[in-house]
Structure 1
Amino acid sequence: MDVPARDKGFTGSIPELYERYLVPLIFEPYAVDLAHRLAARPVGRLLEIAAGTGIVTRKLAALLPANTSITATDLNQAMLDMASSIQTVRPVSWERADALALPFENASFDAVACQFGVMFFPDKVRAFSEVRRVLAPGGVFAFNVWDRIEENEFAATITSALGLLFPQDPPRFLARTPHGHYSLAAIRHALHGAGFASAPGIDTVAARSRATSAEIPAIAYCQGTPLRSEIEAHKTPTLAEATEASANAIRQRFGAGEVEGKIQAHVVVVPC
């Protein structure tokens, strides 16, 4: 399925809100998981694609040996600017790069990591082919993708709430892109099409998403992702009204005060 251009727009205040709210809400536990999987392998040169605001990068910098070089890339300069502004325990090379045309030589890296970026690639076979090209023989590609939206309770609740608020044209960013590419068969097919000969190892990993109030996941999703642009394109109801409707829906489902919901993702590791 094609990815609309608006779904890839991490600009304006989105990077700051993404880092402040969304990273601790849903990304951090999977960043720890992915970093530990890679730290268990001999990696001298690591490339991260679609690094976002750098949560995986920071975990890798802390876990990998000091002599491992880390190059972190993203298509969105605003996300890279946010990532590079946050201190890492050791130097990281930050570079703007398109995953569909990586600016690196063949066999340049021992590992490639990608946290929740694959869903945004308009041509997944081409992106996976680029990963395979820059991996050295014996290297590994490790990435994760969100499972279907029904397995991710805050995202599902907000999507349903916005469907009621915008009945004529409901914003479907969360279901369409972040949670729209969970098919394991499609993942295996794309990897095979890109030339990965070995079968990938795939684990489905559930975790818990926690926040001190219903407002936090509402702000995180409605204002800290490209869902914001889809809401704002409607003019009315406003972004503030959509955020409040989302918070109310979370409050009704998960209670007042602290809230907690299930999140679930697939973690894929494939050797080159």
Structure 2
Amino acid sequence: MVCQFGVMFFPDRVAAFREVRRVLASGSRFLFNTWGPLGTHAIEVALQAGLERAFPVDPPRFFPTVAHGYADPAVVVADLVAAGFTVEKEQELTLQGRAASTADLATGYLTGTPVRAALEERGDEPAVRATVIEEMTARLGPGPVTAPMTAYVFRAAT
């Protein structure tokens, strides 16, 4: 079974891993990845800085707490073991993320992630988008953008 960047959204990871293990045949593998710490993902660091600039009192915290909130490999391994898996491999992988522009990145993140709901609740989305683009451009340049993105890849066996 393969899960790409999904396990960090499970509300009870050990229970979810137990369910994965339950449905897998004996001797099967579970391969998945999680994002590394927010600080290892330059694009989302710039994005979060833009959100904090747009909302200095209470910025949306989806990226540090959810998307990058399951970024300690030791915790992931402990959860897998608690669910009955044997961890065969854990690998840190850093690749370069690429986008045509910071405007494209901001639009994608602000409309295609749960941050969208937070922005809709607070209103003034065009101004927020402009602030986020300005901050991201200051940090990453206007584009094309190339920046490191770190993830952890895990392979566990039943």
Q: Aligning the two structures, in what range does the TM-score lie when normalised by the shorter sequence?
A: over 0.9
Partner residue in 2 for 1:261? 147
Question: Which has the higher relative contact order, 1 or 2, with Cα contacts under 8 A spaced 6 or more apart?
Answer: 2
Contiguous gaps of at least 5 residues in structure 2: none
Q: Tell me the alpha carbon deviations over residues 198-250 of structure 1, each in whole angstroms, 9 at most, x when there is no partner.
A: 23411111111111111111011111100111122212xx2222222111112
Partner residue in 1 for 2:3? 114
Which TM-score applies when normalising by structure 1? 0.56
How far residue 256 of structure 1 moved from its aligned partner, in angstroms, is: 2.5
- Structure-to-structure mapping, 1:1-272, within 5 angstroms: 112-196=1-85, 198-235=86-123, 238-272=124-158
- Tell me the number of residue pairs that the alignment of Structure 1 and Structure 2 aligns: 158
Please state whether the residue corresponding to 1:199 is helix, strand or coil: strand
Q: Which has the higher helix share?
A: 2
Counterparts of 2:15 and 2:106, CA distance in 1: 34
Q: Tell me the alpha carbon deviations over residues 164-219 of structure 1, each in whole angstroms, 9 at most, x when there is no partner.
A: 211111111111101111111110111111111x2341111111111111111101
Which TM-score applies when normalising by structure 2? 0.95
How far residue 255 of structure 1 moved from its aligned partner, in angstroms, is: 1.6
Contact between 1:149 and 1:156, CA under 8 Å: does it hold in 2?
yes
Q: Tell me the alpha carbon deviations over residues 20-79 of structure 1, each in whole angstroms, 9 at most, x when there is no partner.
A: xxxxxxxxxxxxxxxxxxxxxxxxxxxxxxxxxxxxxxxxxxxxxxxxxxxxxxxxxxxx
Partner residue in 2 for 1:55? none
**Matched AA of 1:164:** R
Structure 1 residue ranges (4+ consecutive) displaced by more than 4 angstroms after TM superposition? none
Contact between 1:201 and 1:270, CA under 8 Å: does it hold in 2?
yes
Counterparts of 1:253 and 1:160, CA distance in 2: 9
Could you tell me the percent identity over the aligned residues? 35
Please state whether the residue corresponding to 1:257 is helix, strand or coil: coil
How far residue 154 of structure 1 moved from its aligned partner, in angstroms, is: 0.9
Counterparts of 1:113 and 1:156, CA distance in 2: 27
